[in-house]
Structure 1
Amino acid sequence: MPLSDCLTQSDVASIDRDFFGAYPDRAAFEKFVDPAKFELLTNVADGAMLQRTGKPASKKIDWFIGMVNDHQTLFPDRTSFEKPVFDYVKGQLRGEEPSVENGRATKTFPKHECVLDVTYQAKGAQCVMSQRLSNLAITFIKQKHKVKLTSVEVFFITCPESKAGN
C-alpha cells in the first residue's frame, strides 16, 4: 500500500471537522462518500433493500439521514460518538507482509504505522418502543490521496419494555 493511502492525523481532524461538525449533513456525506464502494449495512428492511438492489449511494445516504432525523428518539444524541478506532497492519511501513497476526486496532492514533481505516462508533442508546440502536458505525479509508466514506452500519435490536414497579 502506498504511503499516500495511509490515513494521517490531519485526515482524522478533517473528518472530525468537515463530516461530524454538522452531522448528519448531506453535503458532508457527499464530500466524503465513495459512490462506487459505499455500503449501507443494516437490519432495517427499507435500508437493506437499497443495498441489496444496488441503489446509488445518494439514495442510501438520503435514507440514512432521513431515518436519523425522523427517529430522533432512537438517536437521542446524534453527534455522540466514541473515540474512533484505527485499523492498521503492524510494521507495514517497514516492509512487513500483511497477515491476520499483525492486524491491529487501537483508539489512539498509532505512530509510525499505516492506518488503513478509521471507524466511528456511536455511543450506547436507550430502549425506545422496544427497540435499541445496537450498532452505528461509520468507516473511512484513504485511497488515491483522498479520504473516502466507505460504509455506514446501523443495526437495531429488540429490548424488553420495562414494567411499572420494576
Structure 2
Amino acid sequence: MTDKTDGKTKKSPLKLILLALGALAFSGGGFAAGQFMSGPKLSPSEEVLRLIESSSLAGAAVTGGSLASGEARPNGLPTLYHEFPEPLLSNLAGSRRFLQVGVGIATRQDEQVIAHLVTHEMALRSDMLGVISGFSEEDIAGTEGRTRLADAIKTAINTRLEQLTGRAGIEDVFFKSFVLQ
C-alpha cells in the first residue's frame, strides 16, 4: 500500500485512517475499562450507609464473641465496630498542648446501634470533644490514663444515645490513633 514516487514513500490514505481509528478505539476502550473498574462514586455518608447495609447482609463485620472473653454473644450476633471518619482534635485542660485521637467503638448488639452513631455523629463528636478537653496531660499519661479517657468517652456516647434514641449500647471505645501535640 505504499507508492514510490521520486524516491519517497507515500502511505495510502486508507492505511492512515485505519491506523487512526484503531488508536482511537484502543484509547476509548481503555477509558471505558477505567470508568467501569472505578465503579460509582458515592459521597462519604452514602459509602457509610452502603457499608452498614453490606455488613448486615453479610452477617456483620467481625466474627461473634465478646472482646474480652471470646465467648459467643447470647443473641449470636457478631461484635460490630464503627470508626468515626475524622480524628478529634482538642486542647487539654490546663495545657497549651492538643490531643488528636481517632476513635472507634464496639457494640455487641445489633446494627441499629451503629445506625444511631452515624445519624447522631455531630452531637457525639461534640460530647467526645468536651470529654477530651476535661482531661489534662497527666490524666491521659500511660495505659491507665488512656483507659480512663476511653471509659469517659464511652459513658458520654452512651448517655447521649440514651437521650436521643432511648437506647445506649456501646461496650468499648478504641483509639485508632493517639497523638499528643
**TM bracket, shorter-chain basis:** under 0.3
Structure with bigger gyration radius: 2
TM-score normalised to the size of structure 2?
0.26
Q: Which has the higher contact order (CA 8 A, sep 6+)?
A: 1
